[in-house]
Structure 1
Amino acid sequence: MSIVLIDSGLGGLTVLHEALQELPHERYLFFADNGNVPYGTKPKETVRSCILSAVQELVTEETKALLIACNTATSIAIADLRRLYSIPVIGMEPAVKPAVELNRNTGKRSLVMATPLALKETKYHDLVNRLGDTEHIDSQPMPGLVTLAEELEFDGPRVQAYLQETIGDRDWQEYGTAVLGCTHFSFFRTAFAKFLPPHIELIDGNRGTVRRLQELIRGREEAPDSAAAAGPVVEFRHSGSDPAYRERMEQALDWYRRDRERAGRPRA
């Protein structure tokens, strides 16, 4: 049986990386809907249709769990998916709660960076309102990072110029945490660390999401076959017509693995 992960493109590979660390003997099917990337600037009904169609093709009786490794898709389609499927369905949400908790005793602000569509959705606003600290939470759409990630450009002059353009005018002494609220954005941890003052904590929801996956599949484990026992098994699929995209997925996952090894494991 396999765990299916789905994203609009390469971003969900950062969640897959975490899953491979925590659940190394599972089988994984990673699907990138790169024929429709990006989700974050599209109408919500278009995104919902993309997700429901893709999941219908991917989920079979051999699927152990479904992980929507995309904050935007989660905000749009998670309720529909949980109604339609009896397997565990796990989604992403910006890690606003741990960011706010880290700032609780300092009076510092949190900046939540995500796609325009995710930041507009009721799900995000409900999350922020539940925390009861809206005056210390700011939001910043950064769709350009998705484009850069899909081009495998995770650092360098273009990335730094985009960060300067979008968040360069903020008074970072007012902030204590910055939330990477799109799975594509986790590719830019090193770039953010170069750009931001050292006191800023970068937080994403990848580890917390995989912990939730672990909880929900507990008791569903079966004896690993010989291939799984030797290490994780990952199948890559994508929707676009470019046959080289699978190689790009593998390159991105390898880059992220090496980048995280150099930097150490991230918070949250």
Structure 2
Amino acid sequence: MQIGFFDSGIGGLTVLAEAIRRLPDKDFLYMADTLHVPYGTKPKEDVKQYIFKSVGKMMEQGIDALVVACNTATSIAIADLRDRYSLPIVGMEPAVKPAVEMNLATGKRVLVFATPLTLQLPKYYALVSRVDEKGIVDSLPLPELVHYCEALQFDRDVMADYFLRKLSGYDLNEYGIIVLGCTHYPFYKDILRSILPAHIEIVDGNVGTVKRLSALVSRFGITGRGGSGQVRFMCTGGEPAYIDKMQTALAMLLERES
């Protein structure tokens, strides 16, 4: 069985790493839309076209299931992708619901980090409206963070300074959870933990997404199609250097969690 993972860049590798740990007997194909990364600052209709072109190339490779490992792409195209293709398709959404549930008893607020486009889309507004009855969710766009991640900018001092500047207008004592609402953002978990107050938890949707993937492929009756744990990489720009970057970033993630 070959499971496809799609993102605009390397962010979806944070979801793929979780899948490799939980589903070690599957094969994986990872596609990055390097011609158009980042999505979060581009017009919605343009992004939808990019997504369908990339997913079409993945279908030609014979994938049995698809993870849209990008919150922005999920918000824009997941319903249309499911209409077009009959295989299991799993999307991402910011982990606002579990964060709100965890924080209700504490009286603390929830702060969601996400791309500007994710925060502007009706899907995000509907999610927050549905689960945030107490009005405890705030949202912070981080338009530069995907660029930093794509450049493999993980210098602790540089990125700590960036986050501190972005958070300078917030009283962090009021918050109990920060939600990482873009799959690129978990690359910075360790740096965030080093600068945030100890009481603040950091959550993302990766574990929940992989659990949904596992349940969905079981429901479709394709769990018996084993694999060898192989990971293949593709990118729309076809750059060998970007393939190398994805391999390096994935190895870093797997080593960090081992």
Please tell me the TM-score bracket, short chain as reference: over 0.9
Q: 1-side partners of 2:155 and 2:179: how far apart?
A: 18
Query: Does the CA contact (< 8 Å) of 1:128 and 1:134 recur in 2?
Result: no
Superposed, 1:25-174 pairs within 5 Å as 25-60=25-60, 62-133=62-133, 135-174=135-174
Query: Residue 152 of structure 1: SS of its match in structure 2?
Result: coil
Q: 2-side partners of 1:154 and 1:222: how far apart?
A: 39
Q: 1-side partners of 2:154 and 2:80: how far apart?
A: 33
Query: Residue 38 of structure 1: SS of its match in structure 2?
Result: coil
- Give the count of matched residue pairs: 256
Deviation at 1:134, TM superposition (A): 5.5
- Equivalent residue for 2:16? 16
**Does 53-62 or 72-81 show the bigger shift?**
53-62
- Equivalent residue for 1:4? 4
Q: 1-side partners of 2:58 and 2:110: how far apart?
A: 37
- Equivalent residue for 1:220? 222
Deviation at 1:69, TM superposition (A): 0.2
Query: Does the CA contact (< 8 Å) of 2:114 and 2:142 recur in 1?
Result: yes
Q: 2-side partners of 1:103 and 1:155: how far apart?
A: 31
- Equivalent residue for 2:231? 234
Q: Calculate the TM-score normalised by the size of structure 2.
A: 0.96
**Does 33-42 or 127-136 show the bigger shift?**
127-136
Q: 1-side partners of 2:63 and 2:155: how far apart?
A: 36
Query: Does the CA contact (< 8 Å) of 2:100 and 2:132 recur in 1?
Result: no
Q: List runs of 5+ in structure 2 lacking aligned partners.
A: none
Q: List runs of 5+ in structure 1 lacking aligned partners.
A: 262-268
**1:58-96 per-position Cα deviation (integer Å, ceiling 9, x unaligned):** 114832111100000000010110100000111000000
Query: Does the CA contact (< 8 Å) of 1:35 and 1:241 recur in 2?
Result: no
Q: 1-side partners of 2:179 and 2:105: how far apart?
A: 18
Superposed, 1:241-260 pairs within 5 Å as 241-260=238-257
Q: 2-side partners of 1:67 and 1:25: how far apart?
A: 17
Q: Which letter does structure 2 place at the counterpart of 1:96?
A: V
Q: 2-side partners of 1:216 and 1:139: how far apart?
A: 30
Q: Calculate the TM-score normalised by the size of structure 1.
A: 0.92
**1:137-174 per-position Cα deviation (integer Å, ceiling 9, x unaligned):** 00000121111111112242221121022113310110
Q: 1-side partners of 2:148 and 2:198: how far apart?
A: 24
Query: Residue 161 of structure 2: SS of its match in structure 1?
Result: helix
Distance 1:153-1:61 versus aligned 2 partners, 3 A rule? closer
> Percent same amino acid among aligned pairs?
48
**Does 58-67 or 190-199 show the bigger shift?**
58-67
